Structure 1
């Protein structure tokens, strides 16, 4: 069974609400009208009861019958029955009166042969026990016909109002949902070649403006991710092109003529270096792919961060000495983390700092222990990085050095991207700042439980 559209649901909902409200209002009006008629009948019968009691104050009087007939003649639809205290019928003003009537005092309603009566039972002499009973019957058939016509009118009004409201609701829903159809049209036109389409937020209703804003933000993220993915694919091809070309050229040159065994050995060693670099590049890419899919699961062991930094600084000490760069560390802290992953991240940052620190420069590592977590800062002296380049430093294959070698087998531009993935896997954040002759990478990490 096909599901109803949103417009049809709204139209039916409007119609149902209108029908319920109209029906409730009609029933309330009908009940009020009926109660009003009962009140009028009660007043009329009470007034007639007083007159009849006066006319019948003396049943032996010769004028009682005349006065009774005169009193009844004033109200054509009024009838009277008089019964004795023993239940014997004494008098009926009309031969068409029902045989069985309510005997309880007060007002009641009966129907007989298509005629409706309002019946009032009262004693002729209220102050005397065993008094004869007066039963006044008022023909209210015309009242009932009016109420029946009004009820039919109520049902007709409910049906027509529901129908009209359904039609108007369908029109209103269609008009109100037009922005959603525009959103659907824009969404259907989105493809890899047209991610720049956006919804006009200015003309949207307030209820849909926020949705349009989030939809545009989603398209913006998709566009950015697609551009990054396209650039990433191009960068992979760019990085692999040079070593593959080197391997092909070197192998072809080696095979152009017979050579001594040592030349072949040297060619294989040269090819091995290129292959090792390519293997490392592939491993780094797989590592980043695991990070993108949340598959990096760092171990949780208690680490002395100062000790880990000292081990790495000892490893980089010969390189720093050759470059005449001073290494120093300040502060200490403990945290729960994966030793190998953190060492890899810190190695990337220290290697990066040493490569871009000029001669007689300085590389400092500062560990700041805080109650909310710890802050690790790796900073170095050197050329300031412009503010517009800072956000791109963690992009894959990006190198801030414009003089970098194409397809260099030494640095592929993945170190900072891997470092960022490791930091995020530990629940932390990393950012870069560069001013006043210093460039610093700031890592904020939670201590863990």
Structure 2
């Protein structure tokens, strides 16, 4: 079953609201009209009662009634829809102009409403002389059938008005809702046109209604993120092919040259050793890519154990010490802190940063590791001297396969441009952040980690 559209829902809502309001207004008007007619009838009956009492003021028994009857008839002739019954206190009827009625009249004093055989009456029972014992009783009956017909016609008109108002409001509401929801249809059109090859469309947020401007801005931001993600994915795929092309080409060429003619066993062994180096580098590249893929899907689950960061850093500095001595670079560490984290993952992250620092630190330069235990968490920085990094390069340092050196070697088995990306994934897996700061003559990588992962 097809769901009702938003325009249809709004139109039905408008129609229902209009119908309810019209119905309530009609009911209130009908009740007010009915009360007004009752008040008018009561005023009419009371006015006639005054005239009748004046005409019958000397009547106290049946013998006194005949001489007052002509004046009484004259009073009744002015009100053809009014009937009168006069009787004694004991119930004897002296005068009666009532039409034959199928049911007895109310006997209680006061004004009563009566519906009989499709006709409506207002009945008024009272004494001729109020407060006098044994006073003759008057019963005035006013035919109000025309009032009831008016009220019925008015009720029919109310129902007709309610129906027509609901219908008109539904049609106008549907038109208004369709016009008001035009920006949503525009968003739907843009969303339908979005594909991997077309992510440049944007919604004019400044032309949207205030209620949809924020949604349009969020939609444009989403398209911006998707566009950036697809561009990075495309660049990532191109980088993978770029990195694998050279070693594969080397393997093919070396193998083809080796097989062009028979060679001594040592030549074949040397060729296999050469190919093994390329294959090992390719295997490492694939492993790094799988590692990053796991990080992207939140599958890196660090083991938690208490680590002495100073001890872990000193072990790495000792490992890189001989290499630093060869290039005349000094290594140092300051501060200490303890952290619950994964030993192997953090060692890999720090090793990547130290290796990166050694490659870009000139001779007689220095690399300083600073560990500080702060109130909000731990901070570890690795700073090296040397040429600074341009500001436009800093945002891309942690991109995969990115190398700041434009003269990079394609397919180099030493550095594929994944070290910083892996380091960032490890830091984020521990709930931390990493950033790079640089200036003339220095570069610093800062890692901020929570004390408890």
Where on the TM-score scale, by shorter chain, does this alignment land: which range? Answer: over 0.9
Classify 1:106/1:281 alpha carbon distance in 2 versus 1 (closer, same or farther; 3 Å).
same
Q: Match for residue 427 of structure 1?
A: 431
Displacement of 1:439 in angstroms is 0.7
Does the residue aligned with 2:124 lie in a helix, a strand or coil?
strand
- Comparing 372-381 with 108-117, greater Cα deviation is found at 108-117
* Structure 1: unaligned runs, 5 residues or longer: none
Q: Match for residue 45 of structure 1?
A: 45
Classify 1:99/1:253 alpha carbon distance in 2 versus 1 (closer, same or farther; 3 Å).
closer
Structure 2 distance, partners of 1:105, 1:306, is: 107
Give CA-to-partner distance per residue, 1:316-343, whole Å, 9 cap, x none. 1111111111111111111211111111
Structure 2 distance, partners of 1:56, 1:427, is: 106
Q: Match for residue 126 of structure 2?
A: 122
Displacement of 1:61 in angstroms is 5.6
Structure 2 distance, partners of 1:407, 1:193, is: 29
Displacement of 1:115 in angstroms is 2.0
Give CA-to-partner distance per residue, 1:288-321, whole Å, 9 cap, x none. 0000001111111111111111111111111111
Q: Match for residue 232 of structure 2?
A: 228
Correspondence for 1:309 among 309, 313, 324: 313
Q: Match for residue 282 of structure 2?
A: 278
Q: Match for residue 143 of structure 1?
A: 147
Structure 2 distance, partners of 1:104, 1:89, is: 17
Displacement of 1:62 in angstroms is 5.0
Displacement of 1:86 in angstroms is 3.5
Q: Match for residue 375 of structure 1?
A: 379
TM-score by length of 2: 0.95
Contact 2:434 2:448 in 1 (8 A): yes
* Structure 2: unaligned runs, 5 residues or longer: none
Structure 1 distance, partners of 2:452, 2:132, is: 99
TM-score by length of 1: 0.96
Does the residue aligned with 1:148 lie in a helix, a strand or coil?
helix
- Matched pairs, number: 449
Structure 1 distance, partners of 2:156, 2:230, is: 66
- Aligned pairs for 1:255-334 (under 5 A) are 255-334=259-338
Contact 2:51 2:75 in 1 (8 A): yes
Structure 2 distance, partners of 1:124, 1:232, is: 110
Classify 1:400/1:95 alpha carbon distance in 2 versus 1 (closer, same or farther; 3 Å).
closer
Q: Match for residue 400 of structure 1?
A: 404
Contact 2:345 2:426 in 1 (8 A): yes
Does the residue aligned with 1:433 lie in a helix, a strand or coil?
strand
Q: Match for residue 217 of structure 1?
A: 221
Q: Match for residue 203 of structure 1?
A: 207
Does the residue aligned with 1:28 lie in a helix, a strand or coil?
helix
- Comparing 69-78 with 141-150, greater Cα deviation is found at 69-78
Displacement of 1:212 in angstroms is 1.2
Does the residue aligned with 1:192 lie in a helix, a strand or coil?
coil
Q: Match for residue 176 of structure 1?
A: 180
Q: Match for residue 77 of structure 1?
A: 81
Q: Match for residue 384 of structure 1?
A: 388
Contact 2:98 2:141 in 1 (8 A): no
Classify 1:201/1:401 alpha carbon distance in 2 versus 1 (closer, same or farther; 3 Å).
same
Classify 1:83/1:372 alpha carbon distance in 2 versus 1 (closer, same or farther; 3 Å).
farther
Contact 2:205 2:216 in 1 (8 A): yes
Structure 1 distance, partners of 2:277, 2:134, is: 131
Structure 2 distance, partners of 1:99, 1:68, is: 26
Structure 2 distance, partners of 1:319, 1:154, is: 97
- Aligned pairs for 1:437-448 (under 5 A) are 437-448=441-452
- Comparing 19-28 with 85-94, greater Cα deviation is found at 85-94
Q: Match for residue 9 of structure 2?
A: 9
Q: Match for residue 30 of structure 2?
A: 30
Displacement of 1:82 in angstroms is 2.6
- Aligned pairs for 1:233-252 (under 5 A) are 233-252=237-256
Displacement of 1:97 in angstroms is 5.0
